[in-house]
Amino acid sequence: MSSSCIFCRIIQGEAPAQMVYQDELVSAFRDIRPVAPVHVLVVPNKHIAALSEVTEEDQAILGRMLLVARRVAEQEGIAQSGFRLIVNNGPDANQIVYHLHLHVIGGHRLRFPMG
Ligand code: DGP
């Protein structure tokens, strides 16, 4: 945990967020600047700065993040209509928060490709 990391503070309950799911490995909460009707961030409870920093040890966490993304999509009612998962890694991808997170986005027709 890093006290200077906003997502660590949210996970610890020290900063406010609309939490939609939490277990021993991951947390999921609504993005503060949603780009679609559903926009949830799935994050590891452990502080990992970016996908480029993960190791073999993090395999269970990474698997859980995908399973929770599916669960969130079902909870939010977009599992059938469709949704997109995004991981921004580093400056060229516009990563702003350096705590690994999976964007779960849906609820309307999404454009693709982008960039
Ligand atoms: P990224 O570019 O992938 O690092 O996106 C970071 C996302 O995190 C961005 O969509 C906005 C969101 N975000 C930033 N600060 C906060 C916060 O304090 N609370 C919540 N819920 N979301 C945040």
Q: Is residue 114 part of a domain?
A: no
Report the C-alpha dihedral over residues 39, 35, 78, 65, rounded to 10 degrees: -40
- Structure-block tokens of residue 22: 């939490």
State the residue range of the domain holding 23: 6-106
| Residue 86 three-state SS | strand
Report which secondary-structure segment, H or E, holds 27.
Answer: strand 26-30
Q: Is residue 112 part of a domain?
A: no
pLDDT at 81 over 90: yes
pLDDT band at 115; cut points 50, 70, 90: confident
Q: What is the mean pLDDT of the chain?
A: 97
Show the beta-strand stretches assigned E in 10-101: 19-22, 26-30, 38-44, 83-86
Identify the residues whose C-beta falls under 6 Å from ligand 1. 6, 17, 29-33, 41, 88, 94-97
Q: Is residue 47 part of a domain?
A: yes
Peptide bond into 113 cis (omega under 30): yes
Q: What CATH number has the domain bearing residue 67? A: 3.30.428.10
Q: What percent of the chain has pLDDT over 70?
A: 100
Distance 99 CA to ligand 1 centre (A): 10
Overall number of domains in the chain = 1
CA pseudo-torsion sign 5, 76, 90, 53: positive
Asked whether 6 and 23 are in contact (CB, 8 A), the reply is: no
Question: Atom of ligand 1 at shortest distance to CA of 103?
Answer: 3
Report the pLDDT value the prediction gives residue 113, as an integer from 0 to 100.
Answer: 86
pLDDT at 2 over 90: no
| Residue 25 three-state SS | coil
**pLDDT tens for each residue of 35-57:** 999 999 999 999 999 999 999 99
Distance 103 CA to ligand 1 centre (A): 9
Asked whether 56 and 62 are in contact (CB, 8 A), the reply is: no
Q: Is residue 77 part of a domain?
A: yes
Q: Which of 39, 101, 103, 108 is catalytic?
A: 101
Report the pLDDT value the prediction gives residue 3, as an integer from 0 to 100.
Answer: 77
Question: Atom of ligand 1 at shortest distance to CA of 29?
Answer: 21
Specify whether 108 is catalytic.
Answer: no
Q: Is residue 1 part of a domain?
A: no
Higher pLDDT, 95 or 115: 95
Report the pLDDT value the prediction gives residue 7, as an integer from 0 to 100.
Answer: 98
**pLDDT tens for each residue of 58-71:** 999 999 999 999 99
